[in-house]
Structure 1
Amino acid sequence: MPLIARLFWILLLACLSPLALGERLRLVTDDWPPYVYQHNGQPHGLDYEVAKQVFARLGVEVEVQFLPWKRCLAMAEQGLADGILDIFQTEARQPYLVYGAEPMSEVEFVLFQASARPHAVDQLQDLAGLTVGTSPGYTYGASFNQAAYFTREAAPTHEANFGKLLLGRVDLAITDRRVGRYLLGHLGLQRQVQELPLVISRQTQYLGLVRKPGREALAVAFAEELRRFKQEPAYAAISNRYTGDIGNILNAVEQQESSTAR
């Protein structure tokens, strides 16, 4: 490593105190499989495993707590947590969150419909007069969030949105493509619910750290280490395990079940 780069990292790691001295970092998030989710009371998921590996390399211990998304946002804004795992960057969040430059992953929001009640939706305007199931506190892009010609109806969980879809209480549901596919496979709804090809928005999600002394330096260090980790075989192995076909994802869950069962 060049001398200048070595000196930079020495100075940066010094700025991480007291976190670098063993303080535990408390992160909040909601169930967002396959990126981050709970299974048998333990955190799992692509972005959780990656974040855990990166923090371990920085000598920082992390604890992840799962809460409803709106509560996660409120806790971060009030300084009651140290950060949020998998959050979009918005102007409204800039006053209380600092982000590293390297994203955890990319989200692609699409629509899902009940196979028994199909809708012809090729563009956003085709949602006119329909009701779309959403999640509280989520942002799907300005065009979707601000449109006045269709109704947005929030449900407490992604599973609840699919349940309302099957019961005909909403016409469509919106979520990330990978999240939707994971849930359809997990719930056995592949034949009852269809994914539509229209992409509502693409957004990158990050680790957001609450603005406190030393957090900007930690965000920079995390982003740099994350960028390096993404070039390694270990990252590819984690990514393939969670974002391969749905069968691979569910097999991973079954393996976790068998390894933790007594």
Structure 2
Amino acid sequence: MRRVLILTLFLVSFTTRAKQPNQLHLLRVAVGDFYPYVTCKDGEAKGINVYLVEKAFKAVNVQLEYTCMPWSRVYKSLYRNRQDISFPYLKSSERRNQLYYLKTPLMVTRLVFFHLETMTMPNHEISLKDISDLKLGGVLGYEYGQLIKQYDQKFGLYRSASSQDGFNRLLKDRIDILVEEQNVGEAIIASLPMSQREAITFTPFTETREDTNNYIVTGANNPNKARIDELYEKGLRLLNEQKPQ
């Protein structure tokens, strides 16, 4: 009789725990450097996105533990489930096979072509034909939307280890155009000597809204992906409720 009672209590306890939602109190976050949205200095993550994401998860009692690494390693660590989340990420068909995008966009970015003032760019919407004879540069691990994807597949994008390296290539005429997010590029240019700052300008190019939305991501096979999404949405709702009317 005692054994039957113990077994019954165990089954009731197990069933109760099974019905409870998956509890998450700590998420491992992998990020690279994407100033001013995310900065990694001495292993510490800061920036606009870091502040916003931390506030949302803190509202639902979830702590974030950051690891700084190159973006190419960030990507691998996510789809291999060695890290739980990262941000900010643009959507792409290739990434959808290995990453899960949380529902609500984190922010909207604006990709532009940075180039020297001496270069003349077309004053119409830029097509693949307009840039087919030019050397375009980017950063390892970055995604730039459909136009640059087509260029990369056909001609090859010259990728640097960082945005700073990309601007160095541009100033040394090793590339004709650096594809970069406008605020990121302007922040880097502001740190350059005046003569170099005055030598660089940018030209916008049109992309769809989906190409410019950035998201928090986790691995496509992460067993907690739905719960992470749910917690983030709840955190955002709580933050909105706290705003003064």
- TM normalised by structure 2 equals 0.78
Q: Is 1:15 matched up with 2:17?
A: no
Asked whether the equivalents of residues 43 and 68 of structure 2 are also in contact (C-alpha less than 8 Å), the reply is no
The residue aligned with 1:130 is: 134
The structure-2 alpha-carbon separation of the partners of 1:31 and 1:121, relative to structure 1 and needing over 3 Å to count, comes to: farther
Question: For structure 2, which runs of at least 5 residues remain unmatched after alignment?
Answer: 1-19
CA distance in 2, matches of 1:149, 1:224: 43
Asked whether the equivalents of residues 37 and 45 of structure 1 are also in contact (C-alpha less than 8 Å), the reply is yes
Give the superposition deviation at 1:149.
6.5
From 222, 228, 232, give the equivalent of 1:212: 222
The residue aligned with 2:5 is: none
Instruction: State the SS of the aligned residue for 2:64.
Output: strand
The structure-2 alpha-carbon separation of the partners of 1:230 and 1:180, relative to structure 1 and needing over 3 Å to count, comes to: farther
The number of equivalent residue pairs is 217
CA distance in 1, matches of 2:46, 2:146: 31
CA distance in 1, matches of 2:228, 2:239: 16
Q: Is 1:166 matched up with 2:176?
A: no
| CA shift digits 1:186-244 (9 cap, x unpaired) | 3344312111133456421111122333331221220242255367669xxxxxxxxxx
Identity of aligned residues (%): 20
Matching of residues 79-228 of structure 1 within 5 Å? 79-115=81-117, 117-122=118-123, 123-124=126-127, 125-147=129-151, 151-188=156-193, 189-199=196-206, 202-210=211-219, 211-226=221-236
CA distance in 2, matches of 1:91, 1:106: 19
Question: For structure 1, which runs of at least 5 residues remain unmatched after alignment?
Answer: 1-13, 235-262
Q: Is 1:56 matched up with 2:58?
A: yes
Please tell me the residue identity of whatever aligns with 2:203: L
The structure-2 alpha-carbon separation of the partners of 1:36 and 1:227, relative to structure 1 and needing over 3 Å to count, comes to: farther
Please tell me the residue identity of whatever aligns with 1:25: L
Q: CA RMSD in A?
A: 2.5
Instruction: State the SS of the aligned residue for 2:109.
Output: strand
The residue aligned with 1:3 is: none
Asked whether the equivalents of residues 129 and 149 of structure 1 are also in contact (C-alpha less than 8 Å), the reply is no
Asked whether the equivalents of residues 109 and 214 of structure 2 are also in contact (C-alpha less than 8 Å), the reply is yes
Instruction: State the SS of the aligned residue for 1:187.
Output: coil
- TM normalised by structure 1 equals 0.74
